[in-house]
Amino acid sequence: MSVLQERSLPGEKELVKDFTPVPRDLAASQRINRLSLTYWQGAMMTLRKNKAAMTGLVFIILVVLVGIIGPILYPNYQKTNLLATLQAPSEKHWLGTDLLGRDTFTRLLWGTRTSLMIGFVAETINLVLGILYGGISGYVGGKVDVIMMRIIDVIVSIPQMIILILLQTVMSNGVGTLIFSLCVTGWAGLARMVRGQVMALRENEYVFAAQVLGASRWEILRRHLLPNTVGPILVNYTMSIPGAIGAEAFLSYIGLGIPVPAASWGNMLQEGANQFPGSLWLFFSPAIIFALTILAFNLFGDGLRDALDPKMRK
């Protein structure tokens, strides 16, 4: 204190005398005022703040519940009544009837189940195939990676819709055939993405540490590499489901998808288009639910992508 007072300018000694050091509170300095969040906790917090994404998620959940519960409550979707054909919406038939007198509302419930089931099942199979194929290709590398990538190049070079149409033409129409057609080439894009993620992660220190400790390639891939690619994989999965639903609707619309009398959004759109504009309810009922579902998946996928990207968080 004396040295400080000797070097101070005239008039500053009084200020030094008035200065009172703040006592150090060790407990207060070590207290954590903000809770520590993990990567997934932060992502979920960001996602919940995105109103558009949460609205899309709520709508998706509602549509899925309708597709599960609706057909149980209204099982007779193929029941015809030729005395009540092409009736407008009423208290008895909420969405009117079609050309054979079938209730449009009941068929829409079954069509929702069919279209959603095709989208979810096909993309889940593509998810598994893409993760395994891309993970092995990216981690093994070398000639194996070159050969596996050339196979994907051949698959991607052929337009997917042409493959779908050819397979639907050769094979019998049905849900199983449509799911198989969507899975023939649908996994290739995800496999490329997973390969790129794995190749970027395999050079990290924890991978070398696992190798030194004697971990096998499969164990490193399963426990260290693939879990760190979950974010992009989830976003890709969410954004791919609308594509599968749209492909089913298109094929059914042109008569190569789900055959009548089974119900799907695609063949209901075809039936509505054949009666357009005389019976507008036949077309707009499946068209509106189809468009809103695709929009909901896209909104939720965009929100999920922003939430899982650290650069997009505020």
The pLDDT confidence band at residue 1, using thresholds 50, 70 and 90, is very low
pLDDT at 6: 47
**Whether pLDDT at 290 is above 90:** yes
pLDDT at 9: 52
Structure tokens at 117: 């089931």
**Whether pLDDT at 147 is above 50:** yes
Q: Where are the domains of the chain?
A: 43-72+96-312
The pLDDT confidence band at residue 79, using thresholds 50, 70 and 90, is confident
Instruction: Give the pTM.
Output: 0.81
Output the average pLDDT for the chain. 84
- Report CA 97 to chain centroid distance, whole Å: 34
Beta-carbon contacts of 192 under 8 Å, excluding residues fewer than 6 positions away, are 134, 149, 152
What whole-number distance in Å separates Cα of residue 183 and Cα of residue 124? 9
**Whether pLDDT at 293 is above 80:** yes
Which tens digits make up the pLDDT trace of 273-284?
Answer: 888 887 888 889
Instruction: Provide mean pLDDT across the span 229-257.
Output: 88
The pLDDT confidence band at residue 3, using thresholds 50, 70 and 90, is very low
pLDDT at 191: 93
Helical packing angle, 280-308 and 104-140, nearest 10°: 30
Which tens digits make up the pLDDT trace of 124-145?
Answer: 999 999 999 998 898 888 899 9
Tokens 């298109």 locate to: 250
- Of 185, 180, 170, 183, nearest in space to 256 by CA: 170
pLDDT at 5: 46
Q: Residue 103 phi/psi, 5° resolution?
A: -70, 120
Q: Which CATH superfamily is domain 43-72+96-312 in?
A: MetI-like (1.10.3720.10)
**Whether pLDDT at 149 is above 60:** yes
**Bigger pLDDT: 276 vs 243:** 243
Residue 84 identity: A
The pLDDT confidence band at residue 80, using thresholds 50, 70 and 90, is confident
pLDDT > 90: what percent of the chain? 32
Which tens digits make up the pLDDT trace of 6-56?
Answer: 455 555 555 555 666 666 666 666 665 666 677 678 888 888 999 999 999
pLDDT at 291: 94
